[in-house]
Structure 1
């Protein structure tokens, strides 16, 4: 089975390991960074492309290499690539699976310190109104910083980002002081989050609703313990993806693979 996997997440590396352990596959993984590419290769991907791809480029890759399956395992907040991948699958008439981590259930979680927001620009507005002089820990990636900084002072802004060239370049372009940049490697533990709150005297944190795998629960718990606010951006609904094409765990994924195989027969 020849698979084109749109990756760059922990979900995608887990999926690569699962595929290599349970199926006879060739996997080409696309990521937007060299770091993501390295993790994909370490997980067992046969090859990688480590840069953002245009829609026509993805179509060309599929048509020129005779792939059997397109899997989108990008981040739940990758609003552009997921609709694009669904469209590509239709154009190329190739089986398609969207592997998306389940949304966080707040049923048994203390949400008393959470402020829900619909966008990062809204998050910045909330901070300017409620915490105008407070320090801000930004736990939502380099691509979302600019929208927050429309309403938040750089002097109070501390982003936790992957220490890769593109992310550092974004910080430099926005004028973020190097001493404000917090290098990251994977999701932070509860203890690490508490340490960051204390070290930077933070009044508020920003995060995405990226599910348990994204370390959201540890951020919520840290905010509760340190009695500070956590602004949470809710994940977007991607209307272009059919519900039946979405799976949320490896068991559902295997069932989908089985259904696709039976359909081919």
Structure 2
């Protein structure tokens, strides 16, 4: 069996390790993060050229099955994979880690909606954890931002008043609580990425009464099969060998 694993997440790396070497896994990374954590097995980096390009790549590389274990907000590649696999008749599953329960968070549909809420509420000091591509919506918001990301956003995408912290999880609740207190944070803005790597900030915010604005996940394409754990993905692949 030859499997294309659309990756870039901890779940994708864990799945590649579980399947290797019994399955010929080709892990594909988008290439947006310098020095990414690499999975075991064959790795390709870069895009496919949309759904049509991915369809051709599947055919040219004799791919038997596809597992999409990309980030929950990687909506474009997820849509392209669903379309390409449907057209080629290639079995395809999305490994989507469970979303965080929103609790008392203000749930919005987009980064732009989150920026509007921040502006309307008039918060002075905001912890922004929407990733390097999520800062652009906040450029014109009159607030001070503590921005945490794995890689630095482009300078043109940064708000005028900010502090940039580059780091990668996992994070601990105590450390997150100390960070929120040290920087006197009024509100936390995050995407509903799910998983344990960055959940601690939500617990810390709840402990301190810091308001959370949470960007909801994009909808998955209609008709796709979904599993929620690496174990489930292993079983799905095994059933097709």
Q: Does 1:237 align with 2:239?
A: no
Structure with greater proportional helix content:
1
Residue of structure 2 in register with 1:160 after alignment: 148
Q: Does 1:246 align with 2:226?
A: yes
The total of aligned residue pairs comes to 240
Shift of 1:187: 3.3
Deviations 1:109-155 (CA, angstroms, capped at 9, x unpaired): xx34x22222211111111111x2511111121111112335x23x6
Paired with 1:19 and 1:76, the residues of 2 have a C-alpha distance of 22
Residue of structure 1 in register with 2:55 after alignment: 59
Q: Secondary structure at the match of 2:186?
A: strand
What does residue range 80-229 of structure 1 map to in structure 2 within 5 Å? Answer: 80-105=76-101, 111-112=103-104, 114-130=105-121, 132-150=122-140, 152-153=141-142, 156-163=144-151, 168=152, 170-176=153-159, 180-216=163-199, 218-229=200-211
Q: Which deviates more, 170-179 or 27-36?
A: 170-179
Q: Secondary structure at the match of 2:80?
A: helix
Task: Tell me: CA distance 1:119–1:175, structure 2 relative to 1, closer, same or farther (3 Å).
Answer: closer
The structure 1 segments of at least 4 consecutive aligned residues displaced by more than 3 Å after TM superposition are 34-38, 175-179
Paired with 1:88 and 1:103, the residues of 2 have a C-alpha distance of 26
Shift of 1:178: 10
- Judge conservation of contact 1:162–1:184 (CA < 8 Å) in 2: yes
- Judge conservation of contact 1:9–1:36 (CA < 8 Å) in 2: no
- Judge conservation of contact 2:147–2:163 (CA < 8 Å) in 1: yes
Paired with 1:37 and 1:240, the residues of 2 have a C-alpha distance of 34
Q: Which deviates more, 172-181 or 198-207?
A: 172-181
Paired with 1:239 and 1:46, the residues of 2 have a C-alpha distance of 27
Paired with 2:158 and 2:34, the residues of 1 have a C-alpha distance of 25
- Judge conservation of contact 2:190–2:215 (CA < 8 Å) in 1: yes
Alignment counterpart, residue 30 of structure 2, candidates 9, 29, 32: 32
Q: Secondary structure at the match of 1:252?
A: helix
Paired with 1:196 and 1:45, the residues of 2 have a C-alpha distance of 38
Paired with 1:240 and 1:193, the residues of 2 have a C-alpha distance of 37
Task: Tell me: CA distance 1:157–1:237, structure 2 relative to 1, closer, same or farther (3 Å).
Answer: same
Paired with 1:52 and 1:205, the residues of 2 have a C-alpha distance of 32
- Judge conservation of contact 1:8–1:36 (CA < 8 Å) in 2: no
Paired with 1:128 and 1:222, the residues of 2 have a C-alpha distance of 23
Superposition CA RMSD, Å: 2.3
Shift of 1:105: 4.1
